[in-house]
Amino acid sequence: MTRDKGLRPVFLAAVLAALLVVLCLLSIALGALNIPLDQVVRALFGHPESTRVENVIWSVRIPRTALGLAAGAALGLSGALMQALTRNPLADPGVLGVSAGASFAIVLSVAVLGVGSVLGYIWFAFAGALVASVLVYLLGGLGRSGQTPVKLALAGVAVTSLVTSLTSAIALTDPDALNRYRFWNAGSLADRDGGVVLQVLPFLIVGAVLALSSAPALNSLALGDDVAASLGRRLGLVRLQGVAAVTLLTGGAVVAIGPVVFVGLVVPHVARVLAQQAGIGPDHRWLLPLSAVLAPCLVLTADVIGRLVVRPSEIQAGVLVAFIGAPFFIALVRRRRLAEV
């Protein structure tokens, strides 16, 4: 990959931004009621064709698109961050136990408290995500050797498995909880009103700021703990900032749209290939934003297709993300040697 023959970084950014805008417009236009694009644009600028169109656009399509954008970006960002923090290309944003904690909290709130709506369990889920990730962070740092990437990842996997077992135990004995859980688990953007977006958005924004500002430190961390320390990075601080960002981003996204954490595992690999093509190399100042743009592209595409294939019913976005993302990912893996973390 020579610099002059590959894509230019700016060109790459422009193409991806344009793609994302087109996908957003499509996501607003298509669905059970198809709205022509010119009407969409007019409605967006305050001159709607009819009140019906205006209602559909402002109360259904735009919150849904915004949710896909926000949650997708959060998952992509936290995936790239997680792989950099653990220096493990197989880490996904769920490795810290965030999605397992959220699942457990949802099942528990349904089984014990009888909570029934998305808005009702959103805070329980977020609390579960937070508790799980703080637990993993503390457990990963105990012991004389202090925190190492492997310890953090293994502690996360152990807590995840512990919590998942408990979730299954409750779900097996309480049919209501299982019912709620299996629909959330498939991952969907449907039936989330504007309130859900607004509730998770502050967390996602804080998480994104934390994540993006840690990019230079992640570049040093990629060289190994010792080198990073000798370059003047305070490892504990970098990890704390990273874990906080992952928790906020993944927690917010998973609570809103379900545990679609695979997005965060796969998208950073695609971002690394693109970055390599553009002659940037594995620079986290580029990888993080690239992942944050690519992931919502995938989520929105899946959501739009899910609305169209079985109209007027829908297939959950979480399911279609896999069936669009995985073949693309496999083709990519086959085509080239993926750049390792």
Partner 1 sequence: MTPSPSVLTGSSRHTFRLAVPPVSGVLRPRLVAVCVTLAVGAFLVFCWGVAIGDYPVDLADVMKALAGSGDPGTLLVVRELRLPRAMVGLLAGVAFALSGALFQTMTRNPLASPDMIGIIEGAGTAVVAGIVLGWDGGLSTQALGLLGALATALLVYLLAWRRGTTGYRIVLVGIGVAWMCTSATDFLMARGGRFQAQAALGWLVGNLNGRDWAQVGPLAVTMAALVPAALLLGRWMRTLQLGDDLATGLGTPVQRVRLALLLVGVGLIAFATAAAGPVAFVALAAPQIAQRLAGTAWPPLVASGLTGALVVLSADLIARTLIPGTELPVGIVTGVLGAPVLLWLLIRANRAGSGG
Binding site for partner 1 (CB under 8 A): 87-88, 90-91, 95, 139-140, 142-146, 148-151, 153-155, 157-159, 161-162, 164-166, 168-169, 171-172, 175, 178-179, 182-183, 185-187, 262, 265-266, 269, 315-316, 318-323, 325-327, 329-330, 333-334, 337-338, 340
Rounded to a whole number of angstroms, the minimum distance from the CB of residue 174 to partner 1 is 10
Rounded to a whole number of angstroms, the minimum distance from the CB of residue 272 to partner 1 is 12
Q: Give the separation between CA 224 and CA 220, rounded to whole angstroms.
A: 7
Rounded to a whole number of angstroms, the minimum distance from the CB of residue 218 to partner 1 is 18
DSSP for 115-146, written as a single string: --SHHHHHHHHHHHHHHHHHHHHHHHH-STT-
168 and 86 Cβ atoms separated by less than 8 Å: no
Rounded to a whole number of angstroms, the minimum distance from the CB of residue 139 to partner 1 is 6
Residue in the block written with tokens 């709205």: 35
Rounded to a whole number of angstroms, the minimum distance from the CB of residue 101 to partner 1 is 13
Cα angle value 24/28/29 (rounded, 5°): 115
Residue nearer to partner 1 on the CB measure, 3 or 182: 182
Residue in the block written with tokens 């299982």: 178
Cα dihedral 29, 30, 33, 35 in deg (nearest 10) = 30
Residue nearer to partner 1 on the CB measure, 166 or 240: 166
Residue nearer to partner 1 on the CB measure, 35 or 297: 297
Residue nearer to partner 1 on the CB measure, 57 or 135: 135
Q: Establish how many alpha carbons lie within 13 A of residue 304's alpha carbon, considering only the half-sphere containing its beta carbon.
A: 19
| Sequence-ordered list of residues with C-beta below 8 angstroms from that of 214, at least 6 positions apart, any chain | 81, 238, 241, 242, 245
Residue nearer to partner 1 on the CB measure, 42 or 151: 151
Q: What is the DSSP letter of 49?
A: S
Rounded to a whole number of angstroms, the minimum distance from the CB of residue 171 to partner 1 is 6
Q: Give the separation between CA 190 and CA 106, rounded to whole angstroms.
A: 18
Residue nearer to partner 1 on the CB measure, 26 or 341: 341
